[in-house]
């Protein structure tokens, strides 16, 4: 099967008028009928194929700009960008339709990389992008594998493409009292209050931020004491049943929190999957469909999407709506038709799937499996 690597498909627009124009100086015979055709020589496809971008865009975050374009951001990776291997410091893609993506830029360069990590060689992981008025806040985790004290910071820019200026650290693991403090998601509630949820296999936690989303609302000491555990067990040790990569949406008066669990980065043997829980309050308590309190034990939550014969290690999602009002889950996974590694980098490609809602208001991907392809998101034409 052929796959595209960083190519944007350009489709033929609808033709209006005759395919062969009639000269203004000529009068057609009375018996000749002039036919005006509105048919295109090539129709815009109605289907798409996963992955929608490859080889790598791990831990994807997504937003739609004022221009109607979708922008996706990924974890720093060393991959084939263009014609040779290179590191991209938070790569940024764009798409008019959630299907056809192109590489645009990187949020940081070596000279603008955040420098506050205590660990040598720390990378930019798990971005999150949120708009605050005319400013785009790009949240990031700064960490290395096995980092004893990773943390979460934020940069700001005037557009989805930046340029982004680092605003520094919000907190690190020691300051907030949660091991492996990475994988944040920031949510602006209906009343304008701003919250951050985060965590990676030490439990998922929540705190309130300032109205501009740039710092903790309380002092670090107060936030350390008042943070709220939302999912998983606070047992002070790393366990894959304790979730990571949270993401929040609000629908029908419920806050839905999507979580990833399992192994993320073991190639085709990765067990990563996405689960969901919900609450009537942003800081919980959260329950799954079976009524399990998400802080009662590990490895619960209602399944949303998991690996299958096509893809492995599917997870770390974000969510976006199309113009029909349908929700789409945007996530990464290993294509089992491809080598699981791209050089030394995990080949975590970009996938999308539509979320279906059951009669009790719970979302999931049809069949619970990552699809090879389906009907495209509906995006209204823009002039």
3-state secondary structure of 173: helix
> Has residue 238 been placed in a domain?
yes
- Taking the alpha carbons at both ends of the chain, their separation in whole angstroms is 34
Q: What's the rounded mean pLDDT across residues 273-299?
A: 98
Please state, in angstroms and rounded to a whole number, the distance separating the CA atoms of residues 246 and 3.
30
Interacting residues of 220 by C-beta distance below 8 A, sequence separation 6+: 171, 175, 176
**How big is the chain, counted in residues?**
383
Number of DSSP helices (H) and strands (E) in the chain, helices first: 2, 25
Q: What's the rounded mean pLDDT across residues 351-372?
A: 98
> Has residue 19 been placed in a domain?
no
Band of pLDDT at residue 9, cut at 50, 70 and 90: very low
Give residue-wise pLDDT tens across range 312-344: 999 999 999 999 999 999 999 999 999 999 878
Check residue 261 and give its pLDDT.
98
Residue 267 has pLDDT above 60, yes or no: yes
Check residue 81 and give its pLDDT.
66
3-state secondary structure of 290: coil
Check residue 44 and give its pLDDT.
61
The CA-based angle 179-278-290, given to 5 degrees, is 100
Check residue 35 and give its pLDDT.
36
Check residue 383 and give its pLDDT.
67
> Has residue 63 been placed in a domain?
yes
Do the Cβ atoms of 71 and 96 come closer than 8 Å?
A: no
Please state, in angstroms and rounded to a whole number, the distance separating the CA atoms of residues 258 and 278.
9
Residue 25 has pLDDT above 90, yes or no: no
Band of pLDDT at residue 381, cut at 50, 70 and 90: confident
Please state, in angstroms and rounded to a whole number, the distance separating the CA atoms of residues 143 and 140.
10
Q: What's the rounded mean pLDDT across residues 21-39?
A: 36
**Total count of domains within the chain:** 1
Check residue 16 and give its pLDDT.
36
Do the Cβ atoms of 160 and 71 come closer than 8 Å?
A: yes
Q: What's the rounded mean pLDDT across residues 193-203?
A: 98
Max CA-CA distance within the chain?
A: 88
Name the residue with higher pLDDT: 121 or 338.
338
Band of pLDDT at residue 40, cut at 50, 70 and 90: very low
Q: What's the rounded mean pLDDT across residues 158-179?
A: 98
Can you read off the two tokens belonging to residue 71? 């922008």
> Has residue 30 been placed in a domain?
no
Do the Cβ atoms of 328 and 98 come closer than 8 Å?
A: yes
Check residue 33 and give its pLDDT.
37
Check residue 17 and give its pLDDT.
39
Give residue-wise pLDDT tens across range 67-111: 999 999 999 998 766 666 788 999 999 999 999 999 999 999 999
> Has residue 361 been placed in a domain?
yes
> Has residue 226 been placed in a domain?
yes
CATH number, position 92: 2.115.10.20
> Has residue 262 been placed in a domain?
yes
> What is the domain range of residue 246?
47-375
Check residue 32 and give its pLDDT.
37
Name the residue with higher pLDDT: 28 or 286.
286
Band of pLDDT at residue 30, cut at 50, 70 and 90: very low
Can you read off the two tokens belonging to residue 211? 């109205």
Q: What DSSP character marks residue 176?
A: H
Check residue 45 and give its pLDDT.
76
Please state, in angstroms and as integers, the Cα–Cα distance from residue 241 to each residue in 119, 272, 326, following that order. 26, 10, 30
In this structure, what are the phi and psi dihedrals at residue 367, rounded to the nearest 5 degrees?
65, 0
Check residue 18 and give its pLDDT.
33
Check residue 90 and give its pLDDT.
97
Give residue-wise pLDDT tens across range 218-244: 999 999 999 999 999 998 889 989 999
Over the chain, what is the mean pLDDT? 90
Residue 379 has pLDDT above 70, yes or no: yes
Q: What DSSP character marks residue 370?
A: P
> Has residue 111 been placed in a domain?
yes
Check residue 27 and give its pLDDT.
37
The CA-based angle 315-55-322, given to 5 degrees, is 55
Residue 34 has pLDDT above 90, yes or no: no
């Amino acid at each position: 099967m052929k796959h595209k690597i960083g190519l944007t498909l350009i489709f033929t627009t609808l033709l209006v008028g005759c395919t062969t124009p009639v000269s203004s100086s000529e009068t057609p015979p009375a018996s000749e009928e002039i036919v005006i055709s509105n048919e295109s020589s090539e129709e815009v496809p109605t289907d798409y194929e996963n992955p929608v971008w490859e080889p790598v865009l791990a831990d994807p975050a997504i937003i739609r700009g004022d221009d109607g374009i979708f922008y996706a951001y990924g974890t720093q990776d060393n991959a084939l960008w263009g014609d040779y291997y290179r590191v991209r410091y938070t790569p940024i893609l764009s798409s008019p339709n959630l299907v056809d993506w192109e590489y645009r830029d990187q949020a940081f360069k070596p000279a603008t990389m955040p420098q506050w990590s205590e660990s040598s060689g720390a990378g930019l992981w798990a971005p999150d992008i949120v708009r605050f008025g005319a400013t785009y806040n790009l949240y990031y985790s700064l960490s290395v594998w096995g980092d004893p004290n990773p943390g979460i910071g934020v940069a700001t820019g005037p557009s989805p493409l930046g340029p982004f200026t680092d605003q520094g650290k919000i907190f690190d693991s020691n300051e907030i009292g949660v091991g492996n403090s990475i994988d944040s998601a920031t949510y602006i509630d209906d009343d304008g209050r701003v919250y951050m949820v985060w965590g990676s296999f030490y439990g998922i936690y929540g705190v309130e931020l300032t109205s501009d989303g740039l710092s903790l609302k309380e002092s670090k000491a107060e936030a350390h004491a008042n943070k709220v555990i939302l999912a998983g067990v606070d047992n002070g040790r790393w366990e894959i049943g304790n979730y990571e990569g949270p993401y929040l949406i609000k629908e029908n008066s419920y806050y839905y929190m999507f979580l990833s669990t399992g192994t993320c980065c073991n190639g085709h043997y990765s067990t990563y999957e996405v689960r969901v829980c919900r609450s009537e309050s942003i800081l919980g308590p959260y329950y799954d469909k079976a009524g399990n309190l998400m802080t009662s034990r590990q490895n619960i939550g209602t399944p949303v999407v998991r690996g299958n014969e096509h893809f492995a290690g599917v997870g770390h999602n974000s969510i976006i709506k199309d113009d029909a009002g349908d929700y789409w889950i945007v996530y990464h996974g290993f294509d089992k038709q491809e080598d699981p590694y791209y050089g030394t980098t995990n080949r975590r490609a970009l996938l999308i799937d539509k979320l279906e809602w059951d009669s009790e208001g719970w979302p999931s991907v049809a069949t619970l499996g990552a699809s090879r392809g389906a009907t495209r998101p509906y995006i209204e034409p823009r002039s």
